[in-house]
Amino acid sequence: MNIRIPPRLASLVTLLLLAVAGTYLVLQATPEGLSLSDDSIAYVAGARSMLAGEGYREAWLASNEPVTHFPPGFSSVLAFFGLFGLDPLRGTRLVNALLFGLNTGLLGIIAWRMTPSLTAGLVLAALFVTSGEMLQVHTSAMSEPLFIFLSLCAFWNFDLYFERPPSSVGRGIIGEWWWLAACAAFAGMAFLTRYAGLALVATFIVAIIVLRSTWRKRITSIGIFLAGFLPFALGWALRNRMLADSATNRVLAWHPITAENFTIGVRVFSEFFIPIETWRREIFKQTGIVEAMIVIVLGAVLVWTLSKAWRYISKPRQAAALERGGKESREVISFTTGLYIFAYLASIVASMTMFDAATKFKLRIVSPVFVGLFILVVALGIWMRKNYRPFVAVMMILVLGLSVYKQSNTFAHLSKGGLGYASFQWYDSEAMAYLRDLPDDVKIYTNEPAAVYLYVGRGANVLPDRFDSATAQERPGFDEGVMKMQGEIHNGQAVMALFDGGDNVAEDMEILINGLHVAFKGQGDLIYTAAP
């Protein structure tokens, strides 16, 4: 007796297995925990302060002030799991592992909604789960995996809003408005995870203007969307104004993107485009090749998105033109994804040039663009498959094969041990052992306050600094800060710890250590106290 498994069921089971594989990959690649950075510790400390009933605070700093620089979304999720006894530091690993699986599954579902091809959903999910870049993003204790998840949920609900026939609520005007309200809520939660969530707002508003056929429908739909989004944004801004007199802890100031930052971005794109590292290094050395690849890819997406928008505007679909059992036939995911790629890039460029010069074109920052490109590549493959099926099949097999090859190398690198503050360098730090023996009332000034919080267990003070990395401008009060710090050290009220192995390099060393005594020196680290 032959048992015939329906194709849809087989595809659903395969997608589920890919999602489970994603979760398993993250857990296996991080035996020592996720990669930890300054921002990671900020999220963990914020979650711990929530669990302690103190609100969302800078627990990694001695000041312990309310957090405004980092939105509360990721810390809130960590705190939720903390309610069940899981410390937020360990919770990051479970959360991001689950998110890798969930994001894999969501992309498969989105592809199925974008195209009737069952294969497309599995290919998109496979591209994502075998991507070395996506594995790196999900093995870092950062907010990007949650941001990607919420963004995909927003896209899914936006597509549902345009697919469903109008219901009795708003019949003939805006369709089933609750899908749009859900889309707005997910966009609001994405904003509370990363401020770049504003790109989702811009994307969906522009999409509504393009896709709706009358201004009455456009204005009504935009009004519903903003009504669903604004409570999240305004609530957070009001809280920050009340507690810290700043909506987002950003200052408007012009600071052009540096050549170094552009180089970082080009390198990240080169790693995404060229999976074989030896080839990538050689190509990267050739001036202009990677830059040309970026321009060609993004230029093609821009031209396609604009042409798609023009077709939507010039040939508006009639409300009665419904197909597939009464449902609207218009596919909006690929078009909306194209819009989002440029809205997101515009948002991070605006942030870098006007609000936060410290933001760089690192992988985690650019990763949402790569997710969008995955979606569009699959959409392109489905479009080409009509006339070039063998070619598309060969290319997809080749791309997936190269992706698996790079994924295996990435997995091997990650699984060797902890990265960032999770590395053995920090676990075995003798300087940290020295600081743990200090009395609780002795302040710790350091260039690595996040690491001190993690391994000493209390907030630290940042060193006086002439330069504000966020505004790219000189910070006032440097001399006064040095005098205050050195006075406390000479009075036995504080020590200064300078770590050699982190990313935070102490500037003005000669001024900071002037007249201080070296109480500890080892492994490249120094601790200064008053003279004995």
Which residues are CB-neighbours of 299 under 8 A, at least 6 positions away? none
For β-strands 461-462 and 443-446, DSSP reports them as parallel
Contact call for residues 125 and 15 (beta carbons, < 8 A): yes
| One domain, residues 145 and 237 | yes
| Nearest of 235, 263, 204, 209 to residue 73 by alpha carbon | 235
The residue from 383, 414, 445 where one domain ends is: 414
SS3 332: coil
Residue carrying the six token digits 């053995």 = 424
| One domain, residues 312 and 393 | yes
Per-residue pLDDT, 173: 45
| One domain, residues 220 and 326 | yes
Contact call for residues 346 and 199 (beta carbons, < 8 A): yes
| One domain, residues 128 and 61 | yes
| One domain, residues 389 and 511 | no
The residue from 385, 414, 443 where one domain ends is: 414
Angle at 473 between CA 467 and CA 477, to 5 degrees: 55
| One domain, residues 122 and 206 | yes
In a domain, 10, yes or no: no
**Structural domain count, the chain:** 2
For each of the chain's 532 residues, which pLDDT tens digit applies?
466 778 888 889 999 999 999 999 999 999 999 999 999 999 999 999 999 999 999 999 999 999 999 999 999 999 999 999 999 999 999 999 999 999 999 999 999 999 888 999 999 999 999 999 999 999 999 999 999 999 999 999 999 998 755 444 434 444 578 899 999 999 999 999 999 999 999 999 999 999 988 899 899 999 999 999 999 999 999 999 998 877 767 777 788 899 999 999 999 999 999 999 999 999 988 889 999 999 999 999 999 999 999 988 887 654 334 333 344 446 899 999 999 999 999 999 999 998 888 889 999 999 999 999 999 999 999 988 888 889 889 999 999 999 999 999 999 999 988 899 999 889 889 999 999 999 999 999 999 999 999 999 999 999 998 877 766 677 888 889 999 999 999 999 999 999 986 655 666 788 889 999 999 999 889 999 998 8
Q: What are phi and psi of 375, to 5 degrees?
A: -60, -45
For β-strands 467-468 and 443-446, DSSP reports them as unpaired
Locate 196 and state its tokens: 């770049």
**DSSP label at 411?**
H
**Strand residue runs (E) in 365-466:** 443-446, 461-462
| One domain, residues 363 and 443 | no
Which residues are CB-neighbours of 1 under 8 A, at least 6 positions away? none
Contact call for residues 443 and 62 (beta carbons, < 8 A): yes
In a domain, 1, yes or no: no
CB atoms under 10 Å from CB of 345, counted, come to 17
In a domain, 3, yes or no: no
**DSSP label at 351?**
I
Contact call for residues 11 and 121 (beta carbons, < 8 A): yes
Kindly write down the DSSP assignment for every residue of 321-367, as one continuous string: --BTTTB-----HHHHHHHHHHHHHHHHHHIIIII-TT----HHHHH
| One domain, residues 389 and 438 | no
For 511, the domain range is: 424-529
- Beta bridge partners, 474, equal 467
Which residues are CB-neighbours of 399 under 8 A, at least 6 positions away? 127, 377
In a domain, 9, yes or no: no
| One domain, residues 178 and 228 | yes
For β-strands 525-529 and 517-522, DSSP reports them as antiparallel
Residues in the chain: 532
Written as one letter, the residue type at 292 is A
Locate 155 and state its tokens: 């896209």
Task: Note the helical H segments in 130-168.
Answer: 132-138, 144-163
In a domain, 5, yes or no: no
| One domain, residues 370 and 238 | yes
Distances (CA, A) of 79 to 72, 149, 163: 10, 18, 36
Locate 429 and state its tokens: 């730090």
Which helix (H) or strand (E) segment is 78 a member of? helix 73-82
- pTM summary value: 0.93
| Nearest of 211, 222, 199 to residue 342 by alpha carbon | 199
Which helix (H) or strand (E) segment is 298 a member of? helix 289-314
| Nearest of 280, 282, 260 to residue 272 by alpha carbon | 280
In a domain, 506, yes or no: yes
In a domain, 429, yes or no: yes
Contact call for residues 445 and 485 (beta carbons, < 8 A): yes
Calculate helix-pair angle for 215-244, 198-211, nearest 10 degrees: 170
| One domain, residues 151 and 174 | yes
| One domain, residues 274 and 394 | yes
In a domain, 384, yes or no: yes
Contact call for residues 107 and 375 (beta carbons, < 8 A): yes
Per-residue pLDDT, 6: 82
Locate 515 and state its tokens: 């007249």
The residue from 414, 449, 481 where one domain ends is: 414
